[in-house]
């Protein structure tokens, strides 16, 4: 039987996944589980350094493959140093973004191809994909509206909007292709409604896959 429970959260910026992750963590701890809460890019000192390198706005000239390889490198370190050991200790790992972000942002957003991006990540995954991935389904328009409080057409250039539309569509595709793993969450619903749905999903998974207890 697999050890531990690996849960990831994915979606556009501003979709509310951080709040939900925090609440899910409290819920699981209340059930007696040890929860390892982490995020990508980051989660280890080396991966946090890679994060600053990638997200530095001065690095505009960064080539898409450099970016994809850096995300994969940060992830390999994160899996080896944090995720895999926590799962071995039979903990619940809650990770804000993981592989699907690379497939969507680099694979489709940067046109590198999902398969190709998967290939460079695969060696660092240590044979474990998330058990449950919550995808917060929020359209790019709604995401921008939430963040800026304004109509996206006022603020964003066309190119930026197209990029986020591609990412949105690629998450849709991933969810359609992996219905067993990826649970689509309607991110326009209320915070308590979403939390309830996530808790039910996790409880159900634990019951079905671990006979009630990890």
Interface ranges with ligand TYD (CB under 6 A): 13, 40-41, 71, 96-97, 101-102, 105-106
Task: In angstroms, give the least distance from the CB of 53 to ligand TYD.
Answer: 12
- What's the rounded Cα separation, in Å, for the pair 207 and 158? 46
Residue nearest to ligand TYD (CB): 105
Closer Cβ to ligand TYD, 90 or 165, answer by number: 165
Task: In angstroms, give the least distance from the CB of 158 to ligand TYD.
Answer: 19
Task: In angstroms, give the least distance from the CB of 175 to ligand TYD.
Answer: 17
Closer Cβ to ligand TYD, 33 or 130, answer by number: 130
Task: In angstroms, give the least distance from the CB of 161 to ligand TYD.
Answer: 15
- What's the rounded Cα separation, in Å, for the pair 195 and 41? 24
Closer Cβ to ligand TYD, 33 or 44, answer by number: 44
Instruction: Find tokens 């957003």 and name the residue.
Output: 109
> Rounded to the nearest 5°, which phi and psi values hold at 58?
-75, -15
Closer Cβ to ligand TYD, 33 or 105, answer by number: 105
DSSP-assigned letters across all residues of 75-119: HHHHIIIIIHHHHHTTPEEEEES-HHHIIIIIIIITSS-HHHHHH
Neighbours of 30 (CB within 10 A): 8
């Amino acid at each position: 039987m697999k050890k531990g429970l690996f849960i990831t959260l994915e979606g556009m910026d501003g979709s509310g996944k951080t709040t939900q992750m925090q609440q899910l963590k409290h819920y699981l701890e209340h059930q007696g589980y040890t929860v390892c809460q982490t995020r990508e890019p980051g989660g280890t000192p080396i991966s946090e350094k890679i994060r600053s390198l990638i997200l530095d706005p001065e690095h505009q000239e960064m080539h898409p493959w450099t970016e994809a390889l850096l995300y994969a490198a940060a992830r390999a370190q994160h899996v080896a140093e944090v995720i895999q050991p926590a799962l071995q200790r039979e903990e619940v790992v809650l990770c804000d973004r993981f592989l699907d972000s690379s497939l969507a942002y680099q694979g489709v957003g940067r046109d590198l191809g999902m398969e190709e991006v998967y290939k460079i990540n695969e060696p660092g995954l240590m044979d474990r994909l998330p058990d449950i991935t919550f995808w917060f389904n929020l359209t790019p328009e709604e995401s921008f509206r939430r963040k800026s409080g304004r109509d996206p057409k006022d603020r964003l250039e066309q190119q930026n909007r197209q990029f986020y539309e591609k990412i949105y569509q690629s998450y849709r595709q991933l969810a359609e292709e992996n219905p067993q793993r990826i649970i689509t969450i309607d991110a326009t619903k209320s915070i308590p409604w979403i939390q309830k749905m996530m808790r039910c999903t996790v409880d159900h998974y634990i019951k079905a896959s671990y006979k009630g207890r990890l």
